[in-house]
């Protein structure tokens, strides 16, 4: 050993030791870097993953809030039913894809085997109803009308029914109090789609697979309020799913209740009378078409004139909203949406539009006054009016000679308005307009036509004011087909097409003249007319119609009233409103609607009305009847139903009779009156949050 | 004894008490590398906490006693420290004489694993089951005996002053000595241990000053071996799956990729400061299998965060840094090679273990030195510490 120097080390070994050291520390640095990358750089991502890893959610669905009428009577609430559901995922895993199980189930439930099988197949473009259009992972309801005995059979023989459950479940019920239906206003529910679940995922109210959501009407409009928040209990679980602790949990929060301004009793009468009026119209012979009136659709709106609140809103044809509960059957679905169904799902009070006919004259009269014509001036009510070689007839009335605008409204004289509109058209420059004032069109817009009223129901349509702008757009969209059709077609339709092709972009004299009496291309909805006539009644305020009156929290502690909102004032100059008001009263007492209000206690309850009969190309006339008192506005329309007062008159009169308790002889019996004054107060809310319902029969008229 | 003037004073000093002997400036205790020792102790202490956190809820493993693994880990550390003290006491040079016996015993034990005495855990037959629930993993001790054996052979002629570097014959002998146990372990098959052993052999050759050709040849042979193993299909399906899961972490996260995926989630969710000891949801929920042994680092990552998990790397770095110093400062080649072998062993095994937990290395069944639960690996690691300390305190003295 002594020969070896103390350092004892060759440089080769030293260098290699240093290499080893460098290698070692680069390995450690690599680890440190990777650790930083995972924990600091991507830490949040992994934290989220860890959370989803060990948290399992158990969901307790919320009870949907009720929809009540103005007196607390439930229009839509929940009842507990025994619902039998099938877990499709589990069935599909079986060898025979669940056939045997579903067969046994059909036996127990007393249903046909293929009917049950059809309910669990998934909907696609080719599959006819019934089929399941919800999520395939959600239990599919087979029936919600299982008896206790059936449910017990399924539960006791669970091994024979894998994937089938029978549970008491709260189910939506549309009670239909007092034979009211209110279908289109209430709307309906159907299961959520995967899309909706994804969309709602990060919002305040995420949706569950088992959720139903409102598809139309109030159920849709107030869905987020009614639905409440499902309770979620979060369990911390280990790798085998065993619960090792409870994490943050949210209790299920039942949905709020919605009090509406609907009065179920008035609603029932409105529905009944509308239906009756349509049935009666079908017995009437239409001279123009040579057959009975079809009366294929109609609607009626009863509105509080001073607030815009909707007391009743009926649309016909109608349907039973309960058809949707527990999954709609194929037959029902076809009946509601098929080509021959006449679309009962439509709420024609807000989605049905047609030309207004003479009920538009209140607007034309106001427009004339604003354009500088004296309301009390004398205007010639001739029996016909000629422009060039075109003759415009006095449609609803004969000639009356020189009369003022009030009288023209009373007798619904067309020629007075023809003349006013024609003169105004000439003032605006005729066929070569220069800075036209367009008083008649401007006034219609000021009355809210061509725009939604803002009613708290989904999918309201806006109607149409056929002003110059619209004409231009419409012509540009259609000129090609018009010009093609008009080229070598000598029929009437062909001539019209040719004329439209050549001059459809212009506001022609005929257009303006027709427009002034509510015929032609103008489209209005019943809710728009109700809003306008309410505004005439209340002094000029256009209210957004509302059905919802208050939202009451489930415990009854928070009551959020939905206050009436206005979207404008009618453009009345001076005392135009009062003159219009007395003219419309004249319509009811000595004008075109007088025969329908015979014996009405006009002194105690001044009645105002306007009739309208709108012509529709290729169809029978639309009946319009707009009426108001100081409290209520009632507007009824019947498509292909005949004249305004003829078809709709008796029904509207009966609605007023019921509201005010007026008998055939014109005596007022307050005790029989359903609603002599609008219901200003909310129903009584108990301390436990329940809402007192007044008996449906109270104050009801004897039939 | 020594005749060096440095120590001449002691000759004339009166007989000292045992305490004075231990604390005297020239005593063994004063000459120990305390920094390395403290780092190793700190790692073992952390190990106890992490093992406890990982096992206190695993009733199917701990026989209903939450302290089962904690107590056993403390016992393992105690035994390990005792073995380290014994190693220092005997000295690595004394052990040099016993190397043939130690080598023989360890190879026999390893071979015994392949007999019915052996037990298969997680696809590898690496354990010998002993009574009372104890078991030993001979491959852990093979790491020590290969290091010692190669150092003995490679340094013999150099330390004797005959040659500046080991000659080819010696290198061949040393390789043959390493090859036998490596082949046995390859049959188990315990790929992780084989990799560690190959790295130890490489480091020993490097430190011995053996010709570059040997180094290059060995690296080439290693690569060829890997290709051969792959081609011959010697690997079990579970091993192929581990590589597949490593190559593609998104592959089958519920199956072969489950382990690494869950470990990565655990570590990533720890972020800077961790969820706090015993508060990791991944750990409490037992989402990471083998968490007290091979995946112990995921507990540190989740519950102690970047700070705690980083500390483990730093502590390992301290041990390795001191070991590198010892390797450089010792003047005899024997000690240098032993130290280099241990450095390679610790460094590679730590890198592989932490690396697989972090998803940058494929999964193998290698424990993290000082931290993973397991008697054999704890004992081997502490014996290695004893060897390093011995090399430090027993620097060759000029006769």
Q: What is the pLDDT of residues A600-621, one digit of tens each?
A: 999 999 999 999 999 888 899 9
In the stretch 267-286 of chain B, residues with CB closer than 8 A to chain A read: 267-272, 281-282, 284-286
Question: Is the model more confident about A435 or about A8?
Answer: A435
Residue partners of A297: CB distance under 8 A and separation at least 6: A315, A316, A317, A342, A348, A352, A638, A639, A640
Compute the distance between CA of residue B145 and CA of residue B105 in angstroms, rounded to an integer.
9
Place of tokens 């006693």: B65
Residue A657 pLDDT > 50: yes
A663 C-beta neighbours (distance < 10 Å), count = 13
**Residue in B160, B218, B268 to test binding to A, most A beta-carbons within 10 Å:** B268
Compute the distance between CA of residue A676 and CA of residue A660 in angstroms, rounded to an integer.
5
Whether residue B268 and residue A1 make contact (CB cut-off 8 A), yes or no, is: no
Q: Tell me the DSSP string of A341-386.
A: G--TTS-HHHH--B--GGGGHHHHHHHHHHTT--TTS-EEE-SEEE
Of A328-337, B87-96, B142-151, B304-313, the one with minimum mean pLDDT is A328-337
B68 within a domain of the structure (yes/no): yes
Whether residue A39 and residue B309 make contact (CB cut-off 8 A), yes or no, is: yes
- Assigned architecture for domain A263-319+345-465+510-545+566-676: 3-Layer(aba) Sandwich (3.40)
How distant, in Å, are the alpha carbons of A14, A475, A576, B158, B347 from that of B336?
10, 99, 114, 12, 16
Residue B234 token pair: 């010697």
Q: Which residue of B has its CA nearest to A7?
A: B331
Average pLDDT, chain A: 87
Cβ proximity of B243 and B249 under 8 Å: no
Q: Is A234 in the B-facing interface, judged by CB distances under 8 Å? A: no
Residue A146 pLDDT > 80: yes
Residue A3 pLDDT > 50: no
DSSP state of B13: S
Q: What percentage of chain A has pLDDT greater than the value 90?
A: 51
Of A143-147, A327-331, A558-562, B352-356, the one with minimum mean pLDDT is A327-331
pLDDT in tens, B305-343: 999 999 999 999 999 999 999 999 888 899 999 999 999
Place of tokens 């509510």: A518
Q: How many helices (H) and strands (E) does chain A have?
A: 23, 25
Residue B274 backbone dihedrals phi, psi, to 5 degrees: 80, 170
DSSP state of A692: P
Closest CA to B377 of B389, B385, B369, B388: B369
B7 within a domain of the structure (yes/no): no
Determine the pLDDT at residue A5: 42
Closest CA to A270 of A698, A679, A653: A653
CATH superfamily of A56-260: Penicillin-binding protein 2a (Domain 2) (3.90.1310.10)
Of A204-208, A615-619, B270-274, the one with minimum mean pLDDT is A204-208
The size of the A-B interface in CB pairs under 8 A is 170
Nearest 5°: CA angle at B159, between A19 and B392?
A: 65
The DSSP bridge partners found for residue A691 are A685
Taking contacts as CB-CB distances below 8 angstroms, the residues of chain A near B320 are 24-25, 28
- Residue A436, CB half-sphere, CA atoms under 13 Å: how many? 24
- How far from chain centre, in Å, is Cα B88? 18
- Asked if the peptide bond before residue B189 counts as cis, ω within 30 degrees of 0, the response is yes
B291 within a domain of the structure (yes/no): yes
Nearest 5°: CA angle at A613, between A608 and A617?
A: 155
Query: Once rounded to an integer, what is the mean pLDDT over residues A390-400?
Result: 79
Average pLDDT, chain B: 87
Closest CA to B388 of B193, B59, B147, B116: B147
Residue B4 pLDDT > 60: no
Q: Where are the domains of chain A?
A: 56-260, 263-319+345-465+510-545+566-676, 468-506
Taking contacts as CB-CB distances below 8 angstroms, the residues of chain B near A240 are 286
Q: Is B147 in the A-facing interface, judged by CB distances under 8 Å? A: no
pLDDT in tens, A83-111: 888 888 778 778 888 888 999 999 888 88
DSSP state of A321: G
B87 within a domain of the structure (yes/no): yes
A2 C-beta neighbours (distance < 10 Å), count = 7
- A132-136, A570-574, B118-122, B345-349 — which one is most confidently predicted on average? B345-349
Q: Tell me the DSSP string of A423-480.
A: HHHHHTTTTS-SS---HHHHHHHHTTTTS----SSTT----B---HHHHHHHHHHHHH
Q: How confident is the model at residue A486 (pLDDT cuts 50, 70, 90)?
A: confident
Cβ proximity of A526 and A626 under 8 Å: no
Place of tokens 């005929």: A510
Q: How confident is the model at residue A8 (pLDDT cuts 50, 70, 90)?
A: low
Q: Is the ipTM of this complex over 0.85?
A: yes
Domain range for residue B242?
A: 33-393
Compute the distance between CA of residue A97 and CA of residue A101 in angstroms, rounded to an integer.
9
Determine the pLDDT at residue B371: 96
Question: Is the model more confident about A588 or about A339?
Answer: A588
Determine the pLDDT at residue A243: 67
Cβ proximity of A543 and A534 under 8 Å: yes
**3-state DSSP call for residue A422?**
helix
Question: Is the model more confident about A447 or about A87?
Answer: A447
Residue A273 pLDDT > 50: yes
Determine the pLDDT at residue B391: 93
pLDDT in tens, A228-252: 887 777 777 777 666 666 767 777 7
Nearest 5°: CA angle at A354, between A352 and A359?
A: 115
Compute the distance between CA of residue A2 and CA of residue B397 in angstroms, rounded to an integer.
10
- State the pairing for strand pair A67-68/A257-260: parallel
Helix axes B258-270, B305-329, angle to 10 degrees: 100
Give the helix ranges, DSSP H, for B115-211. 138-159, 168-187, 191-208
Q: How confident is the model at residue A487 (pLDDT cuts 50, 70, 90)?
A: confident
Q: What percentage of chain B has pLDDT greater than the value 90?
A: 51
* H/E stretch holding A236: strand A231-237
Cβ proximity of A571 and A544 under 8 Å: no
Determine the pLDDT at residue B14: 62
Q: How confident is the model at residue B180 (pLDDT cuts 50, 70, 90)?
A: very high
What's the domain count of chain B?
A: 1
B398 within a domain of the structure (yes/no): no
Of A142-156, A242-256, A598-612, A680-694, the one with minimum mean pLDDT is A242-256
Closest CA to A46 of B264, B277, B248: B264
Q: How confident is the model at residue A135 (pLDDT cuts 50, 70, 90)?
A: low
| Min Cα–Cα distance to chain A from B139, Å | 22
Closest CA to A274 of A203, A196, A182, A190: A182
Residue A1 pLDDT > 60: no
Whether residue A53 and residue B282 make contact (CB cut-off 8 A), yes or no, is: yes
Terminal alpha carbon distance of chain A? 131
Determine the pLDDT at residue A59: 65
B274 within a domain of the structure (yes/no): yes
Compute the distance between CA of residue B399 and CA of residue B96 in angstroms, rounded to an integer.
19
Residue B89 token pair: 């006491």
Of A20, A45, A53, the CB nearest to B343: A20
């Amino acid at each position: 050993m002594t020969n070896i120097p103390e350092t004892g080390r060759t440089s080769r070994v030293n260098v290699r030791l240093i290499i080893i050291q460098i290698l070692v520390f680069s390995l450690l640095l690599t680890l440190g870097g990777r650790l930083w990358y995972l924990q600091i750089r991507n830490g949040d991502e992994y934290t989220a993953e860890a959370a989803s890893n060990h948290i399992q959610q158990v969901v307790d669905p919320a009870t949907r809030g009720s929809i009540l009428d103005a007196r607390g009577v439930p229009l839509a609430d929940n009842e507990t039913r025994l619902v039998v559901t099938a877990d499709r995922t589990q069935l599909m895993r079986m060898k025979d894809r669940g056939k045997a199980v579903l067969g046994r189930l059909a036996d127990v439930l007393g249903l046909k085997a293929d009917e049950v099988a059809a309910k669990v197949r998934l909907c696609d473009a080719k599959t006819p109803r019934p089929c399941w259009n919800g999520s395939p992972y959600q239990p599919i309801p087979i029936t919600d009308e299982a008896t206790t005995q059936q449910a017990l059979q399924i539960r006791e023989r669970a091994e024979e029914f894998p994937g089938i459950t029978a549970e008491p479940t709260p189910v939506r019920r549309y009670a239909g109090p007092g034979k009211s239906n209110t279908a289109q206003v209430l709307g309906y529910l159907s299961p959520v789609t995967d899309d909706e679940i994804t969309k709602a995922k990060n919002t305040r109210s995420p949706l569950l697979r088992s959720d139903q959501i409102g598809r139309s009407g109030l159920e849709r409009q107030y869905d987020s309020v009614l639905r409440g928040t499902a309770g979620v209990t979060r369990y911390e679980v280990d790798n085998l799913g065993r619960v090792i602790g409870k994490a943050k949990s949210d209790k299920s929060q039942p949905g709020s209740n919605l009090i509406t301004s609907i009065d179920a009793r008035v609603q029932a009468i409105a529905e009944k009378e509308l239906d009756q009026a349509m049935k009666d119209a079908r017995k009437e012979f239409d001279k123009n078409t040579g057959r009975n009136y079809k009366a294929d659709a109609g609607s009626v709106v009863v509105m509080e004139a001073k607030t815009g609140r909707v007391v009743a809103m009926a649309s016909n044809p109608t349907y039973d909203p309960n058809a949707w509960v527990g999954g709609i059957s194929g037959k029902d679905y076809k009946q509601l949406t098929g080509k021959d169904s006449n679309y009962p799902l439509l709420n024609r009070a807000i989605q049905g539009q047609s030309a207004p006919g003479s009920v538009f004259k209140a607007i034309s009269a106001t427009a004339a006054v604003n354009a500088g014509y004296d309301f009390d001036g004398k205007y010639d009510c001739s029996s016909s009016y000629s422009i060039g070689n075109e003759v415009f007839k006095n449609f609803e009335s004969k000639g009356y000679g020189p009369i003022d605008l009030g009288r023209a409204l009373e007798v619904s004289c067309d020629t007075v308005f023809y003349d006013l509109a024609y003169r105004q058209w000439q003032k605006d420059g005729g066929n070569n307009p220069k800075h036209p004032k367009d008083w008649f069109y401007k006034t219609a817009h000021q009355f809210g036509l061509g725009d939604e009223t803002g009613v708290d129901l989904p999918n309201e349509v806006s109607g149409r004011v056929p002003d110059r702008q619209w004409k231009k757009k419409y012509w540009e969209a259609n000129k090609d087909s018009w010009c093609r059709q008009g080229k070598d077609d000598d029929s009437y339709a062909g001539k019209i097409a040719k004329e439209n092709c050549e001059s459809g972009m212009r506001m022609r004299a005929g257009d303006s003249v027709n427009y002034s009496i509510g015929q032609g291309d103008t489209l209005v909805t019943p809710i728009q007319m109700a809003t306008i006539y309410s505004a005439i009644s209340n002094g000029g305020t256009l209210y957004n119609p509302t059905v919802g009156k208050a939202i009451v929290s489930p415990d009854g502690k928070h009551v959020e009233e939905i206050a009436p909102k206005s979207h404008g004032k009618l453009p009345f100059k001076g005392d135009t409103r009062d003159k219009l008001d007395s003219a419309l009263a004249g319509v009811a007492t000595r004008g075109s609607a007088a025969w329908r209000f015979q014996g009405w206690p006009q002194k105690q309850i001044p009645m105002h009305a306007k009739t309208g009969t709108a012509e529709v190309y290729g169809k029978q006339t639309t009946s319009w009847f707009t009426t108001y008192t100081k409290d209520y506005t009632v507007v009824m329309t019947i498509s292909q139903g005949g004249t305004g007062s003829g078809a709709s008159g008796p029904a509207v009169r009966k609605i007023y009779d019921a509201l005010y308790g007026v008998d055939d002889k014109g005596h007022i019996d307050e005790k029989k009156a359903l609603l002599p004054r609008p219901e200003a107060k909310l129903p009584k809310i108990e301390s436990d949050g329940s809402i007192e319902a007044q008996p449906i029969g109270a104050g009801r008229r004897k039939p | 004894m020594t005749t060096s003037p440095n120590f001449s004073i002691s000759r004339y000093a009166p007989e000292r008490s045992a305490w004075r002997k231990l604390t005297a400036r020239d005593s063994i205790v004063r000459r120990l590398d305390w920094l390395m020792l403290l780092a190793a102790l700190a790692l073992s202490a952390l190990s106890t906490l992490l093992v406890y956190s990982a096992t206190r809820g695993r009733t199917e493993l701990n026989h209903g006693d939450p302290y089962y693994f904690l107590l056993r880990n403390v016992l393992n550390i105690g035994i390990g420290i005792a073995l380290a003290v014994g190693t220092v006491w005997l000295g690595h040079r004394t052990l040099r004489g016993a190397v043939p016996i130690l080598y023989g015993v360890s190879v026999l034990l390893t071979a015994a694993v392949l007999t019915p005495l052996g037990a298969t855990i997680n696809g590898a037959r690496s354990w010998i089951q002993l009574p009372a629930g104890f078991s030993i993993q001979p491959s852990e001790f093979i790491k020590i005996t290969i290091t010692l054996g190669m150092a003995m052979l490679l340094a013999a002629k150099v330390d004797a002053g005959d040659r500046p570097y080991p000659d080819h014959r010696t290198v061949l002998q040393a390789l043959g000595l390493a090859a036998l146990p490596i082949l046995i372990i390859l049959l188990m098959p315990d790929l992780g241990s084989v990799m560690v052993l190959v790295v130890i052999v490489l480091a020993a050759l490097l430190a011995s000053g053996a010709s570059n050709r040997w180094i290059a040849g060995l690296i080439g042979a290693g690569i060829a071996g890997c290709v051969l193993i792959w081609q011959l299909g010697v690997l079990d399906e579970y091993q192929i799956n581990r590589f597949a899961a490593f190559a593609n972490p998104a592959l089958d996260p519920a199956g072969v990729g489950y382990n690494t995926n869950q470990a990565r989630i655990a570590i990533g969710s720890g972020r800077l400061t961790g969820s706090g000891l015993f508060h990791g949801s991944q750990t409490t929920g037992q989402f990471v299998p083998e968490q007290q042994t091979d995946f112990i680092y995921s507990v540190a990552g989740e519950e102690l965060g970047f700070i705690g998990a980083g500390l483990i790397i730093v502590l390992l770095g301290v041990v390795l840094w001191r070991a590198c110093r010892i390797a450089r400062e010792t003047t005899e080649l024997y000690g240098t090679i032993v130290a280099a072998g241990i450095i390679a062993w610790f460094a590679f095994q730590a890198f592989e273990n932490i690396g697989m937990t972090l998803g940058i290395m494929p999964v193998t069944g290698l424990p993290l030195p000082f931290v993973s639960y397991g008697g054999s690996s704890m004992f081997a690691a502490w014996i290695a510490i004893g060897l390093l300390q011995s090399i430090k305190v027993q620097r060759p003295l000029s006769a």
